[in-house]
Amino acid sequence: MIVVMQKGAEAAQVQAISELAEGWGLKVHVSQGEERIIIGLIGDETRVREPALEMMPGVEKVMPVLKPYKRAGTEFHPERTVIKIPPARHGDRGLAIGGPGVVVMAGPCSVEGRDMILSLGAFLKGAGAHLLRGGAFKPRTSPYAFQGLGVEGLRYLAEERSVVGLPVITEVMDTRDVEMVAEFADIIQVGARNMQNFNLLKAVGRCNKPVMLKRGLASSLEELLMSAEYVMSEGNPDVLLCERGIRTFERLTRNTLDLSAVPVLKRESHLPVVVDPSHGTGHWDLVAPMAKAAVAAGADGLILEVHPDPSRAISDGPQSLTPKRFKELMVDLELVARAVGRNLY
């Protein structure tokens, strides 16, 4: 249920409504817009006495919420969410994801070593990337495949941040590792296979770092939004939604990249939307056209796999761009972004 406050409503009036709703056993979410304050009431709405709410000072109207994703949806929160990432080093500028600038996250599928991460990070920053992606813990289809360097990989990512200055996004796979990963990461990634790992979603919802949720292999957009709801219900409002392709009958691509998800998610939710054309296609030659299409469709960010020598990559080499191709793509992305009234951040 939504309580729309009158223009100019006072803080004391908002507080009075919050206390009344909490007395009914409901959770309260207050959204401050440019002209209106919207109070979301979450819980058993049969306890709500609508006439009592409507007569409260400062109330303009009371409305039911029809969508199940209350915190993630635009009904509760009509203003777009912009997620702020602090600068990696003193003197660097921070990031804002969800605003007019498109943010590019780039790096290898797996952290393979210290020298590789530091040198690649320096190149990517010089080419215009905004965050370094790299997996320290890797969920692999085969139990015999490389599973990542673990804590050692996290330390290399942290060193890159302090030396090169690119903030870091990396994946967490286990509830026991959330606090540790949060110490090293600027954004915590929940991978496609864990999109509905509800205990993990609750755990990242209790940390104070932004969370990027990747859409599951066979998940609907509503299921993705409900996973975001799990994170947000624990008190973490900074969630990014990532379209990374879904499994279909098509065999010429690794997955089917659903670019229609971008405008749909931006219609249904106020959260920033990121696209992963690397996993979405599985082939390096398809990454650039899909990345440009994603920006044209309205994506707030891209996450791309880049490796200094894809032929020797421990994981996901076939879908990784070389540094040279990444640099060329960044030039094209700027042109596409400007064509649709945006820019690279």
Rounded Cα gap, residues 184 and 187, in angstroms: 9
Q: Which residues contact 260 (CB under 8 A, 6 or more apart)?
A: 297
Task: Give CATH 3.30.70.1140 domain extents, the chain.
Answer: 2-63
Kindly report the length of the chain: 345
Per-residue pLDDT in tens (0 to 9) along the chain, 345 residues? 899 999 989 999 999 999 999 999 999 989 888 788 999 998 888 788 888 899 999 999 998 887 889 899 998 888 999 999 999 998 899 999 999 999 999 999 999 999 999 999 999 999 999 999 999 986 656 665 566 788 999 999 999 999 999 999 999 999 999 999 999 999 999 999 999 999 999 999 999 999 999 999 999 999 999 999 999 999 999 999 999 999 999 999 999 999 999 999 999 999 999 999 999 999 999 999 999 999 999 999 999 999 999 999 999 999 999 999 999 999 999 999 999 999 999
* Residue 125 in tokens: 């920053």
Q: Are strands 131-133 and 101-107 parallel, antiparallel or unpaired?
A: parallel
Report how far apart the first and last C-alpha atoms of the chain are (Å, whole number): 36
H/E element holding 211? strand 211-214
Task: Give CATH 3.20.20.70 domain extents, the chain.
Answer: 83-344
CATH architecture of the domain covering 2-63: 2-Layer Sandwich (3.30)
Which CATH code for domain 83-344? 3.20.20.70
pLDDT at 137: 84
pLDDT at 140: 55
pLDDT at 144: 57
DSSP-derived letter for residue 261 is H
